[in-house]
Structure 1
Amino acid sequence: MAKSTTGQARFKIQRALGLELPGLGKAGALERRPYGPGVHGNKRKKISDYAVRLKEKQKLVFHYGLREKQLVTYVKQAKRNKTRAWMDTLLITLESRLNNVIFRLNWAPSMPAASQMVAHGQVLVNGKKVNKASFVVKPGDVLTLSEKGYKNQLYKQSVETPRLPSVPACYNVEASGENLKAKMIAEPMPADIPFEYNGQLVTEFYFKVK
């Protein structure tokens, strides 16, 4: 799991990137200061083509809570899949990671919170505890929480006040008694990504990775 960041750091990250990343769980980062951090943040800067591509890649790193080496590994794996554009394969894989699935179901307010639930054994896949955030959920898998997970205040708050406006259509969510359960009925789509990004720039950034 990637190193966690403080609330203040999450604000700075989003201001530096120029957009809010839902996975960081800190809304309103750009409302008061819609410019980069630092004393020169509100001045226009001319950035290089490399910096533009770097920023686009960083969106994936910070939203999904990854380390650079993890993302490079996913890129290499995606490039070995010849059935579709590797960028689409990459995004589908990232969206299928267990911590992201829990977050997209609005069962956790942020990616770090979702990762913590997974690490603490509060997430079940097909009735079995899975404690790896990187576990890839597949169509047909059913997700529930442990008794402790359903009592988790972050879960309860997230269900009552969802961080995201809707759950992607690839999930079927229904009540199981007083609790919720979900089933992945199809692969997530690149169009499901909950923030603006330019896949072509990420493709160009990792052009030499094999």
Structure 2
Amino acid sequence: MSKRQESKYKINRRLGVNLWGRGKSPLNRREYGPGQHGQRRKKPTDYGTQLMAKQKLKGYYGNIGERQFRRLYDEAVRRRGDTGENLIELLERRLDAVVYRMKFVPTVFSARQFVNHGHVTVNGKRVNIASYQVKDGDTIEVRNKSKQMALVLEAVASGERDFAGYHEVDAGSLKGKFVRAPKLADVPYPVQMEPNLVVEFYSR
């Protein structure tokens, strides 16, 4: 269970964006931050802009812990190519992110819990580690005994999100394949993500 399960939408108000594009976000009613000083607006510094970019990206994936997020960044730096693109790829390869993208569950928070409770298999083997890195060609499936859970049925029936183009999904059998690593432009974020600013934040 995520530490932010009950107060997750405070992230939206603090950052001033509807991070997951959901209709029930309180930002749809109040477009300012929480607390008595929430309506004050001040121009952010370069550091503040970079920090907000990091908080948006980290928060979108279920508010990953700082230590874990930093490890992903360090791995992105070690790899060849653009560090920002590498970071997005590593985040999108997380098993909980894949389960969320395939619409097996309604939220990224429930995706982490769903994986941790052992409801998902990868290539026929049960995996209960949300941060597990999915490889190209891996098959992800909801276990048979979990396919009638209310959480799953709600997600399948929802028209709130579209499938990502780098997955192949059979919604009827709750089974999908991770086809390829995405680029930033491929990922259907409801808000603009700026991994280049995250790189600048950690490079300070």
Taking structure 1 as reference, are residues 162 and 121 closer, same or farther at Cα in structure 2, changes over 3 Å only? farther
Taking structure 1 as reference, are residues 162 and 119 closer, same or farther at Cα in structure 2, changes over 3 Å only? farther
Is residue 205 of structure 1 aligned with residue 174 of structure 2?
A: no
- 1:72 is matched with 70
- 2:166 is matched with 170
The secondary structure found in structure 2 opposite 1:144 is strand
Match of 2:58 among 52, 61, 86: 61
Identity of aligned residues (%): 37
1:193 Cα deviation from its structure 2 partner: 4.5
The secondary structure found in structure 2 opposite 1:4 is coil
The secondary structure found in structure 1 opposite 2:27 is coil
Check whether the contact 1:124–1:144 (CA below 8 A) recurs between aligned residues: yes
Check whether the contact 2:5–2:109 (CA below 8 A) recurs between aligned residues: no
1:16 Cα deviation from its structure 2 partner: 1.0
1:106 Cα deviation from its structure 2 partner: 1.0
1:44 Cα deviation from its structure 2 partner: 1.7
Check whether the contact 1:122–1:129 (CA below 8 A) recurs between aligned residues: yes
- 2:40 is matched with 43
1:112 Cα deviation from its structure 2 partner: 1.4
- 2:150 is matched with 153
Is residue 186 of structure 1 aligned with residue 180 of structure 2?
A: yes
Taking structure 1 as reference, are residues 149 and 95 closer, same or farther at Cα in structure 2, changes over 3 Å only? same
1:180 Cα deviation from its structure 2 partner: 2.3
- 1:127 is matched with 124
Aligned residues: 201
Question: Hey, which bits of structure 1, 4+ residues long, moved more than 3 A?
Answer: none
Instruction: State the Cα RMSD in Å.
Output: 1.8
Tell me, in whole angstroms, the C-alpha distance in 2 between the residues paired with 1:4 and 1:22. Answer: 17
State the one-letter code of the partner of 2:180. A
Tell me, in whole angstroms, the C-alpha distance in 1 between the residues paired with 2:139 and 2:198. Answer: 32
Taking structure 1 as reference, are residues 79 and 91 closer, same or farther at Cα in structure 2, changes over 3 Å only? same
State the one-letter code of the partner of 1:189. K
Structure 1 gaps, min length 5: none
Tell me, in whole angstroms, the C-alpha distance in 1 between the residues paired with 2:26 and 2:91. Answer: 24
